[in-house]
Amino acid sequence: MSIISSQLREEDRLLALQQTGLLDSAGESIFDEQTRLLADICGCPIAALSLVDRDRLYLKSKTGMDFCELDRHGSFCEKVALSGMPLVVPDASKDPEFCDTSLVRDVGVCFYAGVPVELFPGCAIGSLCVIGTEPCEVTPLMMDTLKTLASQVGHVIALRRQLMLKGRIHTESLMTAGAMHEIKNTLTPAMGYLDLLAEGENHEQNATERCEWLDRASDAVVRTVQMLRDMHLGQHAAAPCEGGPPQCMGQVVSGVIRQIGSAAAATGVNIRWYDRSGEDAQVDCMGNELRQVVSNLVLNGMDAMPDGGTMDISTKRDGCCFVLTVTDNGKGMTPAEAGRCFDPMFSTKQVGAGYGGSGIGLTIVHQIVCDHGGSIQVESELGSGTTMRVELPCMEISDTVKPKWNPSRGEGLRVLVVDDQPMVLKTVGSVLSSLGHSAVLYEDPEEAYRNFASSPADVDLAIVDLGMTPCNGLQLAEKLHSLRKELPVIIASGEDLNTVELPRQTRCMDKPFRVEQLRRTLRLAMCGD
């Protein structure tokens, strides 16, 4: 017991293993040479470098066997990694702990000798081992060889992990700086427009245009923050938990041109929407994300033409796909630059030049398009301009007119809203009221539960924040369901909920959310479709 307790906590061990970048990676001669040498010196038919993942053994390097991975549970290598101690089994067929395992029973493994591969003391990520199909006694030479090679392998992997972590920290720092640049550029005119509106500069047309711009600016900030979150978690941007109605691409493109057209004209850029044959195409995507795709592509093209030029936009259908192309006659890119243009932090512009320079805009475009099952290609020639081609799957007209997409007011739901942020709580209450519902608002989850317990039937639905204390949203949902198991509950959070196993009658909704997203989530929660 003392041996196991001296080892790193399992979740921390698995994180350290993940940080090495070795899982599911291609074979490498630096490790293959070690396992071949080990098998030759020990005179064993099989040698392997086994990494102990959550539910499997991943064989990073092996000689004498064809398996790439095996079940972890009850295996020799699992015991080595969790104990941090060498393991020798001279005859597994007679060992009560291993005689019934599949490797022994089905594959015919009889002999095993393995030592832990450690990143640092107490953190064994796997085992370097030799295996035989006949009983065998371990000699001092075999054990010394195992320990020496395992130490060398551990040092190589530890150094690689350190370099990857340093590189990631550097990348995250650059990404954060770039995100701050994007957000500040977006907030500067947004704050100015708010001041003008507050001072009475509210002619109907100007006010409408400014509100539309503020709407687009808030979407841009949200997506930038989401991208930083996803990058920190080491994953691709996650699609929203609940989507919105299908979007007409013609309306999206015309809205962007209307918003950016004056700025483009002021810089000498002429935007021409020359092919509108696919403007009626419907795409299943949140409108704010589509606007950001089009906006970023147009702004990127403007950046490429600092002295003015022409930008051609085409929207058409190609079979079951909607195709958007944005072409500029600007400075273009080299093949190397074009190959990296979607990489985070890559930019051909100096920071502060034109509208950009942060290296985030096209990364966001690429993530949004890929998240929705689409693709994006770039064609560019230095000195001749660039064409960006986006393909997104279309929805059939019959799919876009289903009643479930039809927003309605006045459904009269009685909604329990619990959030420990007063401004968020008040805003959600106001939105629900504008949709025809009545809301009971609580900052304290315990108080909300006590009041719900006194009359559970008086509530049709609950919206609760995930990150509350002392009772978080999932815990509160469980308590509410203990009193009324069929109560629909919506968990709202700025965290990634796609990997969280939600209880029955519970849905998730990303923060921040739009009115259309809230309306649809309410309908889905109540109707269950």
Condensed to tens digits (0 to 9), the pLDDT of residues 183-227 reads 666 666 666 667 766 666 555 556 666 676 676 667 667 666 666
pLDDT at residue 114, rounded to an integer: 97
- Residue 502: in which H helix or E strand, if any? none
Backbone angles phi, psi at 374, to 5 degrees: -105, -170
Any idea which residue has 């930008």 for tokens? 311
End-to-end CA distance of the chain: 51
Backbone angles phi, psi at 64, to 5 degrees: 90, 5
- What pLDDT digit, counting tens, does each position of 115-159 carry? 999 999 889 999 999 999 999 999 999 999 999 999 999 999 998
Instruction: Please tell me the total number of residues recorded for the chain in this structure.
Output: 529
pLDDT at residue 3, rounded to an integer: 36
* Rounded distance between C-alpha atoms, residue 56 and residue 263, angstroms: 56
Q: Is the dihedral of CA 331, 335, 338, 344 positive or negative?
A: negative
- What pLDDT digit, counting tens, does each position of 37-76 carry? 999 999 999 999 999 999 999 999 999 988 889 999 989 9
* Rounded distance between C-alpha atoms, residue 165 and residue 338, angstroms: 27
Q: At 399, is the secondary structure helix, strand, or coil?
A: helix
* Rounded distance between C-alpha atoms, residue 350 and residue 227, angstroms: 22
The neighbour count for residue 199, using CB atoms within 10 Å, is 8
Burial tier of 66 (Cβ tally within 10 Å: 0-12, 13-18, 19+) = exposed
pLDDT at residue 154, rounded to an integer: 93
* Rounded distance between C-alpha atoms, residue 161 and residue 436, angstroms: 55
- Residue 407: in which H helix or E strand, if any? none
CA distances to 116, 265, 378, 398 from 303, in Å: 54, 13, 16, 40
Cis peptide before 135 (omega within 30 of 0): no
CA distances to 321, 464, 503 from 527, in Å: 30, 19, 17
pLDDT at residue 98, rounded to an integer: 93
Any idea which residue has 């979740």 for tokens? 11
Q: At 128, is the secondary structure helix, strand, or coil?
A: strand
CA neighbor of 296 nearest in space, from 262, 321, 260: 260
Backbone angles phi, psi at 397, to 5 degrees: -55, -35
The ranges of the chain with pLDDT < 50 are 1-6, 235-243, 351-357, 397-410, 529
Any idea which residue has 């109605």 for tokens? 245
pLDDT at residue 364, rounded to an integer: 79
* Rounded distance between C-alpha atoms, residue 450 and residue 445, angstroms: 9
- Single-letter amino acid code for the residue at 366: H
* Rounded distance between C-alpha atoms, residue 513 and residue 127, angstroms: 47
Structural domains of the chain, ranges and CATH numbers in brackets: 2-165 (3.30.450.40), 243-400 (3.30.565.10), 404-527 (3.40.50.2300)
pTM of the model: 0.43
pLDDT at residue 503, rounded to an integer: 73
Tell me the H-state helices in 8-90. 10-19, 29-42, 76-83
DSSP state of 342: T
**What are the beta bridge partners of residue 386?**
328, 380
Show the tokens assigned to 478.
Answer: 């469980």
* Rounded distance between C-alpha atoms, residue 452 and residue 277, angstroms: 54
- Dmax of the chain from CA atoms? 91
Instruction: Map 81-143 to HEC letters.
Output: HHHCCCEEECCHHHCCCCCCCHHHHHHCCCEEEEEEEEEECCEEEEEEEEEECCCCCCCHHHH
pLDDT at residue 494, rounded to an integer: 73
Q: Is the dihedral of CA 84, 85, 89, 90 positive or negative?
A: positive
DSSP state of 402: -
Half-sphere exposure of residue 515, counting CA atoms within 13 Å on the CB side?
A: 13
Report the Cα 505 to chain-centroid distance in Å: 25
